[in-house]
RNA sequence: GGUCCCAUCGACUAAUGGUUAGGUCACCAGCCUUUCACGCUGGUAAUAGGGGUUCAAAUCCCCUUGGGAUCACCA
């Protein structure tokens, strides 16, 4: 049987990086085995529904390079792929469960249930729904139940969990997991608004959609026995389960918004590249080999195996993500990066330059930044005259006689035919040697006058890109200011 | 608290009974050098603790400790 997996988010907001990892692992697994990866929208909670969230999810996943074989957008033979469009199915199957005595009607109000649980909590025990105390078809009897329903009373359908059994299932990542039914609550399957709960809907859909492997986050592990019970109640064959380790905050709690960005959108707008995010997130849980860190999507697909996925949670550490980001930035072409730089400049309201000039800046800075957005700041002097001069740098490299030493060199710069970095380098080197100086004795003052700061690309490369006119103008300006004691 | 899950350097991971416990990020040092980076070389750093099983344990079993998840008419 060919592999069919699904990513089943609820459209309640932005896509979380943990969700991205789950989607990615489903995708990698499916593609590794030449199977299908399906997107199903689980919108059974009408209170938390967020408009456009589902479209946004698809857009973000597509940005990441994850395409689904079947989805609300694309359709497929097992649709609809939105749970709110499958209500009839859930209702029908819930009714089937009732008729088999695997589920029952319950009429308790929210207040009654709160009270029931509070009472138990006070005695220090479980806080379960008590089947023989609540108002339900067990305590009320068949005819009273029918009457209530006929009269239009609100009801839910609850799973009839068997008394004293052990429920075991095999998890591909964790091995056998066993839970006693006495620890399982009579879970609500169908809510009073006619919508199914997650438990019913996901089991029904996974079965109906022919899902072979349920790959989801570890937070679902404790409720999996309920799902096993449902498969049994329906008499359906179960898919295989694989519960992925959680993504963690620095303090090892489940990754959450409170401790930094977790929305994939935030990483996109921060300027991370898809290759970096996918490579990083992909390796949060396993590594196909012992001594390789850089993986393309294709290589991840090739090397993916659920059996290799770790059991323990993984801390989401931005330092390594940034390293990937810097690495991938350097793999982009200068042309591509220049285009990105132009977009960045525009968004900052800065005047752009010719593509040619931007590419030259990229060449100078691509090994000095992790993000394109750093360039307008780090290379500010490539866009405008330095607004200020670093005082420490000034103090360290500007000596009493610097002006006298450098003036003749400036004259040489004025007269040279070629204003290229190689020519500038040779000219300066000759000059320095004749004067009995060291190259760095003049390079630093030059850097100071022209860029205003202590760090940057190679000085002669920088001068070449800036051009003779601009360099000389900056030098003159600096000297004038110096004479006026304004520096 | 009940139940379940988990445990290799600070972080991500490799080693599925036999390795000087490997790699990457970060950190430190050196090289390169024209500053900052990039790059290169080297270094610090881990099997939570205790019992077993075995000729041999990071690996299998048990206990302890620690951490996490979950206990809704949310997913």
- In CATH, what number is assigned to the domain containing residue A477? 1.10.10.350
Is A323 within the bounds of a domain? Answer: no
Is A217 within 8 Å of A23 (Cβ atoms)? Answer: no
> Does the C-beta of A104 come within 7 A of strand B?
no
**Is residue A284 very low, low, confident or very high in pLDDT (cuts 50, 70, 90)?**
very high
The mean pLDDT value for A72-91 works out to: 95
Which residue range is the domain that position A150 belongs to? Answer: 86-244
The mean pLDDT value for A233-251 works out to: 96
Most distant CA pair in chain A, distance: 111
A421 and A464 in a common domain: yes
- The residues pairing with A7 across neighbouring beta strands, listed in sequence order, are A39
A422 and A355 in a common domain: no
Q: Is the pLDDT of residue A392 over 90?
A: no
Nearest to A192 by CA among A275, A267, A263, A135: A135
Query: What was the pLDDT predicted at A311?
Result: 96
Is A16 within the bounds of a domain? Answer: yes
Which chain B positions have some atom within 7 A of a protein CB? Answer: 1-8, 10-16, 22-26, 34-39, 67-75
CATH code of A343's domain: 1.10.8.70
User: A148 CA to B66 C1', in Å?
Assistant: 52
Is A346 within 8 Å of A381 (Cβ atoms)? Answer: no
A279 and A354 in a common domain: no
Tell me the per-residue pLDDT of A209-236, one tens digit each, with 9 for 90 and over: 999 999 999 999 999 999 999 999 999 9
Domain closes at, from A203, A222, A244: A244
Is A81 within the bounds of a domain? Answer: no
The mean pLDDT value for A225-251 works out to: 96
Which tokens in the block code for residue A156? 């839910």
Spatial distance between the Cα atoms of A452 and A456, rounded to a whole number of angstroms: 10
A252 and A219 in a common domain: no
CATH code of A291's domain: 3.40.50.620
A294 and A186 in a common domain: no
Tell me the per-residue pLDDT of A27-54, one tens digit each, with 9 for 90 and over: 999 999 999 999 999 999 999 999 999 9
A238 and A194 in a common domain: yes
Is A386 within the bounds of a domain? Answer: no
A252 and A190 in a common domain: no
User: A198 CA to B74 C1', in Å?
Assistant: 8
Tell me the per-residue pLDDT of A185-194, one tens digit each, with 9 for 90 and over: 999 999 999 9
Instruction: Judge if ipTM > 0.85.
Output: yes
Is A328 within the bounds of a domain? Answer: no
Domain closes at, from A244, A272, A292: A244
Domain closes at, from A381, A400, A419: A381
Which SS3 state, helix, strand or coil, does residue A268 take? helix
> Does the C-beta of A195 come within 7 A of strand B?
yes
CA distances from A95 to A44, A100, A104, A220 (A): 18, 9, 9, 25
A134 and A112 in a common domain: yes
Distance from chain centroid for Cα A219: 18
Name the average pLDDT for chain A: 94
Query: What was the pLDDT predicted at A211?
Result: 98
Q: Is the pLDDT of residue A75 over 70?
A: yes
Tell me the per-residue pLDDT of A10-29, one tens digit each, with 9 for 90 and over: 999 999 999 999 999 999 99
Residues of A annotated as catalytic are 257
Residues 161-180 of A with CB under 7 A from strand B: 174-180
A238 and A254 in a common domain: no
Residues 323-352 of A with CB under 7 A from strand B: 323, 326-327, 330
Spatial distance between the Cα atoms of A439 and A464, rounded to a whole number of angstroms: 18
Q: Is the pLDDT of residue A172 over 90?
A: yes
Is A401 within the bounds of a domain? Answer: yes
DSSP A44-58: --SSS--TTHHHHHH
Query: What was the pLDDT predicted at A352?
Result: 79
**Is residue A484 very low, low, confident or very high in pLDDT (cuts 50, 70, 90)?**
confident
Q: Is the pLDDT of residue A103 over 70?
A: yes
Tally of structural domains, chain A:
4
- The residues pairing with A263 across neighbouring beta strands, listed in sequence order, are A16
Query: What was the pLDDT predicted at A62?
Result: 97
Which one is predicted more confidently, A122 or A424?
A424
Is A273 within the bounds of a domain? Answer: yes
CATH code of A114's domain: 3.90.800.10
Is A441 within the bounds of a domain? Answer: yes
Which tokens in the block code for residue A407? 């003036």
A125 and A189 in a common domain: yes
Distance from chain centroid for Cα A77: 30
Query: What was the pLDDT predicted at A123?
Result: 78
Spatial distance between the Cα atoms of A88 and A129, rounded to a whole number of angstroms: 27
**Is residue A395 very low, low, confident or very high in pLDDT (cuts 50, 70, 90)?**
confident
Q: Which residues contact A89 (CB under 8 A, 6 or more apart)?
A: A204, A208
Query: What was the pLDDT predicted at A481?
Result: 86
Query: What was the pLDDT predicted at A367?
Result: 96
A255 and A237 in a common domain: no
Query: What was the pLDDT predicted at A487?
Result: 62
A68 and A8 in a common domain: yes
Is A69 within 8 Å of A38 (Cβ atoms)? Answer: yes
């Amino acid at each position: 049987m060919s592999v069919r997996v699904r990513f089943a988010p609820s459209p309640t907001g932005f896509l979380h990086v943990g969700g991205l990892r789950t989607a990615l692992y489903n995708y990698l697994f499916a593609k590794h085995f030449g199977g299908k990866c399906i997107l199903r929208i689980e919108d059974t909670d009408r209170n938390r529904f967020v408009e456009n969230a589902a479209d946004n999810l698809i857009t973000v996943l597509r940005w990441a390079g994850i395409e689904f074989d079947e989805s609300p957008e694309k359709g497929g033979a097992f649709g609809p792929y939105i749970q709110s469009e499958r209500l009839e199915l859930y209702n029908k199957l819930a009714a089937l469960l009732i008729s088999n005595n695997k589920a029952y009607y319950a009429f308790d109000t929210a207040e009654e249930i709160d009270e029931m649980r509070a009472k138990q909590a006070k005695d220090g025990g479980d806080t379960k729904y008590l089947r023989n105390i609540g108002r339900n078809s067990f305590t009320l009897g068949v005819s009273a139940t029918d009457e209530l329903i006929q009269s239009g009373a609100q009801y839910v359908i609850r799973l009839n969990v068997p008394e004293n059994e052990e429920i075991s299932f095999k998890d591909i990542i964790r091995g056998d997991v066993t839970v006693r039914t006495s620890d399982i609550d009579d879970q609500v399957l169908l809510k009073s608004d006619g919508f199914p709960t997650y438990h019913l809907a996901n089991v029904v859909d996974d079965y109906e959609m022919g899902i072979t492997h349920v790959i989801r986050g570890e937070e679902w592990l404790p409720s999996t026995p309920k799902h096993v019970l449902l498969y049994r109640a329906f008499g359906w064959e179960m898919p295989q389960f694989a519960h992925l380790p959680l993504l963690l905050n620095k303090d090892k709690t489940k990754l959450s918004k409170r401790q930094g960005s977790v929305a994939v959108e935030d990483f996109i707008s921060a300027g991370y590249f898809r290759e970096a995010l996918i490579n990083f997130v992909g390796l949060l849980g396993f590594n196909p080999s012992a001594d390789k860190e850089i993986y393309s999507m294709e290589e991840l697909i090739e090397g993916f195996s659920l059996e290799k996925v770790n059991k323990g949670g993984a801390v989401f550490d931005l330092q390594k993500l940034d390293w990937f980001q810097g690495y991938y930035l350097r793999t982009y072409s200068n042309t591509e990066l220049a285009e990105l730089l132009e977009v960045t400049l525009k968004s900052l309201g800065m005047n752009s330059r010719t593509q040619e000039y931007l590419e030259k800046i990229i060449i100078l800075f691509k090994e000095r930044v992790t993000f394109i957005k750093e360039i307008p700041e780090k290379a500010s002097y490539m866009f405008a005259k330095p607004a200020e001069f670093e005082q420490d740098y000034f103090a360290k490299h500007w000596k009493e006689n610097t002006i006298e030493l450098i003036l003749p060199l400036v004259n040489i710069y004025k007269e040279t035919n070629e204003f290229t970095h190689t020519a500038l380098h040779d000219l300066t080197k000759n000059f320095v040697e004749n004067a009995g100086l060291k190259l760095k004795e003049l390079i630093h003052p030059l850097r100071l006058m022209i860029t205003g700061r202590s760090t940057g690309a190679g000085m002669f490369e920088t001068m070449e890109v800036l051009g003779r006119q601009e360099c000389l103008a900056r030098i003159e300006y600096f000297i004038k200011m110096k004479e006026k004691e304004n520096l």
